[in-house]
A and B are shown apart, each in its own frame.
Chain A
Amino acid sequence: MVSVAQESPYFVTYDHHMEEPGNLDIEVSATTDVPRTGQKYYFAPWMEFEYGVTARWTTELYIEGQTTYGDSTVFTGWRFENRFRPMKREHWINPVLYLEYESLNEASRIQKEISGGGPDITSPNSELRNTPAHELETKLILSSDFHDWNLAENFIVEKNLSRGEGFEFGYAVGFYRPLATMASGSNCRFCGENFSAGVEFYGGLGSTLNFSGRNTGNYVAPVLSWLISDNSTLRFSPGFGLTHESSRVLFRFGYSYEIAGIGSKVSKLFGGKR
């Protein structure tokens, strides 16, 4: 049985579309960079398991690491994320509440979001991996669908529980639309209906100790997704750094595979009804 979530092409921005209840989305993604002078090339993969608990509650578990050229490969931690959609129906603006616990170290480079000044990409891994970063992150996600376009805005507040860095802030804004708005009768893979494209903007806004867009990483990133089969999607995004603290270019790519109805199968194992 096939089932698919038409994945949004965003890497950083969240919209209000939740995982279908009972479906598990397994995604392997990576962030890599074209460094500026003084920065190092790195490759930061992560794996995420996204599950639709209900039609208004999606939960995710992340595991991440990174390799820095000329340095080392390190495990950088895990994240547990939940998104709740408070409103039952579609509205002009659809809010979603986001809460995440992160058990990371400062070597984390996946940059799933950028808050405060962004990650430290100049210090050696040996130093960064020993600096824990237990963080709580909240987001207010606002998202609208309008004439086949999606427009989403995320406001990020993050608190490092390990150190007194104050509250750190960040943002992400994006829009996208499918390249075709009608489905053909055939199972074509290169039809416009299988592609979505857009742009996202994201970056840090400093912290309560230094609230400013200065000295923070900021990017503009075209995004593209391709539904390569009924249950798998490829995504790609080159993000161009807008400030000196940003990498010159961040490349992101990801592959996701959706397993439909896994919730009911697990439920049956424990004697639940389908």
Chain B
Amino acid sequence: MSRPSTFVVCSLLVVLGTMLGQNPEYRQDPTWRAPDDDARKVNPLANRPGAAAGGKKLFLRNCAECHGDGSGIEKKHSADFQLLVVQEQSDGTIFWKITNGNTGRGMPSFSKLPELERWQLVLYLRTLKPVPSPL
């Protein structure tokens, strides 16, 4: 294969990957469970509600693109954090899910954020008003 052809093939692979890389439809993954020890962790910022403002900023930067920003924007079939099914989970569980992601279902790991920033995200999510989960 000539070099220009190889270049074209590689470029097409990028475009194809772009199309295939989308999360088709969001449904709760029953296998995505935090280990018990992690689920029991307590938010070290629980007594610092002011830190939620930083959590909101991080949320808008890192999460809102998929999960929405609360203003009714279109989502990529990701969980709405106001749903009871999310809000009923423990702080430790949400922290674990942010840290590890669910990479098989399109949710990336956010372990690159410092630990306290991930706890700030959890703190902010707790400020969202819960709404009943759809049937």
Task: Check A54–B106 contact: CB distance below 8 A.
Answer: yes
Q: Please, which residue of chain A has its CB at the minimum distance from the CB of B25?
A: A273
The answer to whether residues A103 and B101 also contact, given A185-B50, A267-B18 and a CB cut-off of 8 A, is no
Task: Check A181–B14 contact: CB distance below 8 A.
Answer: no
Task: Check B112–A53 contact: CB distance below 8 A.
Answer: no
Report the minimum CB–CB distance from A138 to chain B (whole Å).
17
Task: Check A145–B18 contact: CB distance below 8 A.
Answer: no
Which residues of the partner chain A approach B6 to less than 8 Å between Cβ atoms?
Answer: 101, 103
CA distance A80 to B100 in the complex (A): 28
**Size band of the interface chain B makes with A:** 35 or more
Number of A residues, CB within 8 Å of B: 56
Task: Check A182–B114 contact: CB distance below 8 A.
Answer: yes
Task: Check B24–A51 contact: CB distance below 8 A.
Answer: no
Task: Check A22–B21 contact: CB distance below 8 A.
Answer: yes
Task: Check B10–A55 contact: CB distance below 8 A.
Answer: no
Q: Does A37 contact B (CB under 8 A)?
A: no
CA distance A49 to B13 in the complex (A): 13
Q: Which residues of A46-82 have CB atoms within 8 Å of chain B's CB atoms?
A: 49, 51-57, 59, 61, 78, 80
Which residues of the partner chain B approach A78 to less than 8 Å between Cβ atoms?
Answer: 7
Jot down 27 A-B pairs with beta carbons below 8 A, ordered by A: A2-B65, A4-B62, A22-B18, A49-B14, A51-B17, A52-B21, A54-B21, A54-B106, A56-B103, A56-B104, A59-B13, A59-B17, A61-B14, A89-B100, A89-B109, A90-B99, A90-B109, A90-B111, A103-B7, A150-B112, A181-B115, A183-B120, A267-B18, A267-B19, A267-B22, A274-B74, A274-B77
